[in-house]
Amino acid sequence: MQGNLKNMQRRTFMGFAGATAVVALSGCSTKTQSNNNIKTNNSINTQVFNTSLKQMRKKTQKRVVIIGGGFGGLNTASAIVASDPKQDIEVIVIERNQHYFACPMSNTLLSGDSEFKKENFVFDYSNVQKEYGYEVIQAEVVGIDRKTQIVSTSSGFLEYDFLVMAPGIEYNYEAEFPHWSAKKIRQAKLEAPGGLISDAGIEHTRLIQQLSAFKEAGGEGVIAIIPPRPKITKSLEESVKYTSLQRCKPAPYERACMIANWIKKNNLVGKAKVMILDNSARPQAKAVAFEEVFRELYSDVIEYVGGFDLMDVDFDKKEITYRSINDDADYISAKMSYDVLNLIPLQKASSLISMAGLKTNAWGGAVLAKRRFYTITDSKVYVLGDSASYGKGSYRDNPKKKAGIPAAAQTAYSAAKVAGEMIAKRVLTNIDEPIKEFSASCFSMVESDGDRLGIAIYKDFEFTDNGFIIDENIPKIAGKYYNILAGEGLLGWFDGVMADTFATFIKPVRSLA
């Protein structure tokens, strides 16, 4: 390794605090559509309907079209069906991929634990159509015309009464590295994959292959993980804050633990180490709990470097350029080498949100109406999952502390169950109810060598007209944040949520509890 790392702004063995930015809801006055205070605004129309496309299915009843076959989209669909016993609502999901790779718990694929296999994270859409009764169409969305209420796809167009958008996230290399060419961005995706998107597991497979090659080459050196950055270092003199979407904030730190677990299983302690090169002074989620894990389980394997100012990466040389400080307290450019790199870039909402002409926030998320899952722009367009922007909220025990509704699978799952029921009620009875509450839990596996140990965090979101209130709990067992109950809880959570989302249980449709 090159460069004087002791002059970095901070180096510690840490994990990270559960601080996520909460979003309070804001509305605006637009054209009133009904007595139930349903508002709409179709003044923005960026994607005009392509008249050359063929109609895929003639609309003969009330129809809800859902874009996205992940946790938000599928659970909205199943909740609508469960709330519509007479089947008065036609529900159609549009998904471009044949298979879905589940990101939750996927870091365990890097742990060296043979019980975790890639095939257990890949799902198709056959069971949901048989068991739940909604339709999944494999197609690419190419246009959204809110004025005519038509979604255009690579296979034709569909009319809708209500549209649900749950399209997930996109990487934002262009904002983070404006000096990189398109070729270099492609190289980054290949050689330092982010591992945060559902891509049939391609990125995770690359990471596994890189670890295997590292071991075959002797297993000596640095495995570097760079989490998304709250500040971008533009030059030695300038570092600017950047508001970015961040899916699953604990993921980089859980990944570090799983790779450290892999190092231990392969008897590489003393030869290999994981370096977390974090722009934040401390880890960005579950900090106290991860600090405990790094200190007590992996002090000889994981090195946490806080305040790391990344400037550039040379993938050919396997060399990172960063901003350091010399003995005179001046900023200098320094370099360090790595052997395996997991560069997790900044993220943004799906480009489909802007395609629909919806009002967005700084990272492209659709701004939702007050206490609603539909947008402030158009009350017939709902947005669920990572591309939804709720606004700002506060912790119940500390109102001055702002935190967030995290972009994560459990959040999308819980919100979608509530949203689907609300959409069905609105379609069937024209009653537009406000969001009252939903909950989210988050588990992180930290050790899988013998006992499976994890960290759990539980959040409840109570919505009011003034925003929403967050209750948060990170429980300890026997004085430890990491414990068997949370590790086994992650396994049970994953099995249950995946079985429900993709209908992999044996019995037919279950009613919502």
Mapping DSSP onto H, E and C, the string for 24-63 reads CCCCCCCEECCCCCCEECCCCCCCCCCCCCCECCCCCCEE
89-101 per-position pLDDT tens digit = 999 999 999 999 9
Asked if residue 513 is part of any domain, the answer here is: no
Rounded CA gap, 353 and 382, in Å?
A: 11
Residues 137, 241, single domain; the answer is no
Which of 290, 325, 343 is where one domain is finished? 343
Whether pLDDT at 68 is above 90: yes
What is the DSSP code (8-state) at residue 474? -
Residues 495 and 364 in one domain: yes
Q: Are 166 and 416 in contact (CB under 8 A)?
A: yes
Using the predicted structure, report yes or no on whether residue 43 has a pLDDT greater than 50.
no
Give the Cβ contact number of residue 315 at 10 Å: 14
Neighbours of 468 (CB within 10 A): 24
Q: Give the whole-angstrom CA distance, residue 501 versus residue 420.
A: 13
Whether residues 214 and 327 share a domain: the answer is yes
Residue 262 lies in a domain: yes
What per-residue confidence (pLDDT) applies to 77?
98
Q: What tens digit of pLDDT does each residue of 157-169 get?
A: 999 999 999 999 9
Residue type at 39 in one-letter notation: K
Give pLDDT tens digits for 312-354. Answer: 999 999 999 999 998 888 999 999 999 999 999 999 999 999 9
Q: What are the Cα distances from residue 247, in Å, to 102, 311, 406, 483?
A: 13, 22, 7, 24
**CA nearest 375: which of 363, 390, 395?**
390
Other beta carbons within 10 angstroms of residue 212's beta carbon come to 11
Our measurement of the distance from residue 40's CA atom to the centroid of its chain's CA atoms, rounded to an integer in Å, reads 28
What element of type H or E holds 222? strand 221-226
Chain segment 246-274, per-residue pLDDT in tens: 899 999 999 999 999 999 999 999 999 99
d(Cα 405, Cα 134) in Å, to the nearest integer? 28
Please give the model's pTM, rounded to 2 decimal places: 0.87
pLDDT for residue 30 is more than 80: no
pLDDT confidence tier of residue 17, bands split at 50, 70 and 90: very low
Same domain for 370 and 339: no
| Predicted confidence (pLDDT) at residue 19 exceeds the cutoff of 50 | no
Higher per-residue confidence, 262 vs 506: 262
The answer to whether residue 114 sits within a structural domain is yes
Does the pLDDT value for residue 42 go beyond 70? no
pLDDT number for residue 449: 87
- Whether 3 shows a pLDDT value over 60: the answer reads no
Which residue in this structure is represented by tokens 């209420």? 149
Give backbone dihedrals phi and psi of 428, rounded to 5 degrees, phi first. -85, -30
Instruction: Give CA angle at 15 (236, 277), nearest 5°.
Output: 25
Other CB atoms within 10 Å distance of the CB of residue 471? 14
Residue 21 pLDDT exceeds 90: no
Q: Output the pLDDT for position 453.
A: 98
59 Cβ neighbours under 8 A, 6+ residues apart = 90, 158, 159, 160, 161
Q: Which residue has the tokens 């999944």?
A: 136
373 touches 31 (CB < 8 A): no
Domain boundary, last residue among 284, 319, 343: 343
Q: Is residue 26 part of a domain?
A: no
**How is 351-405 classified by DSSP, letter by letter?**
HHHHHTT--B-TTSPEEBPTT-SBBSSBTTEEE-GGGEE---EEESS-TT-EEB-
Domain with residue 296: its CATH number is 3.50.50.60
Closest Cα to residue 405, out of 25, 140, 15, 17?
25
CB atoms within 10 A of CB 98: 11
- Please state, as a whole number, how many other Cβ atoms lie within 10 Å of the Cβ of residue 50: 13
Judge residue 359's burial from the number of C-beta atoms within 10 Å of its C-beta, 0-12 exposed, 13-18 middle, 19 or more buried.
middle
Distance CA 260, CA 458 (A): 26
On whether both 272 and 136 belong to a single domain, the answer is no
Please state, in angstroms and rounded to a whole number, the distance separating the CA atoms of residues 253 and 257: 6
In a domain, 183, yes or no: yes
CA 141 to chain centre: 21
Q: Is the pLDDT of residue 39 over 70?
A: no
Q: Which residue has the higher pLDDT, 470 or 33?
A: 470
* Domain span holding position 393: 31-45+54-170+348-502
| Closest by Cα among 129, 149, 150 to 53 | 150
Asked if residue 403 has pLDDT above 50, the reply is yes
Percent of the chain whose pLDDT exceeds 70: 88
pLDDT score recorded for residue 51 = 53
Mean pLDDT of 150-159: 96
Position 402, amino acid:
K
- Residue 25 belongs to some domain of the structure: no
Q: Are residues 327 and 362 in the same domain?
A: no
Closest CA to 304 of 347, 261, 257, 271: 257
Domain boundary (343, 366, 383) is at: 343
User: Residue 62: pLDDT band by 50, 70, 90 thresholds?
Assistant: very high
What is the count of structural domains for the chain?
Answer: 2
Whole-number Å distance between alpha carbons of 69 and 133: 15
Whole-number Cα distances in Å, 118 to 25, 110, 344? 38, 10, 21
Q: Can you tell me whether residue 307 is helix, strand or coil?
A: coil
Residues pairing with 462 in the sheet: 437, 469
Please say if the pLDDT value at position 480 is more than 80.
yes
**CA dist., res. 356 & res. 361, Å (int):** 14
Q: Which of 264, 265, 257 is nearest to 286 (CA)?
A: 257
Tell me the Ramachandran region of residue 153: left when phi exceeds 0, alpha when psi lies from -120 to 50, beta otherwise.
Answer: beta
Pair (400, 471) in one structural domain: yes
Could you tell me the maximum CA-CA distance found in the chain, to the nearest angstrom?
Answer: 75
* 63 vs 427: CA distance, rounded Å: 9
Per the CB < 8 A criterion, the answer to whether 75 and 413 are in contact is yes
pLDDT band at 49 (very low <50, low <70, confident <90, very high): low
Q: Which residues contact 84 (CB under 8 A, 6 or more apart)?
A: 424, 427, 428
What is the mean pLDDT of the segment spanning 458-470?
94
- Residues 374, 482 within the same domain: yes
Query: Tokens 């129309």 identify what position?
Result: 45
Least confident of 194-208, 427-441, 488-502: 194-208
Residue 243 forms part of a structural domain: yes
- Identify whether residues 375 and 457 lie together within a single domain: yes
* Co-location of 128 and 199 in the same domain: no
Confidence of residue 112 (pLDDT cuts 50, 70, 90): very high
Model confidence pLDDT, tens digit, residues 156-213 = 999 999 999 999 999 999 999 999 999 999 999 999 999 998 787 899 999 999 999 9
Residues 369 and 466 reside in one and the same domain: yes
* CB 237, CB 341: distance < 8 Å: no
Any domain includes 510: no
Residues 463 and 421 grouped into a single domain: yes
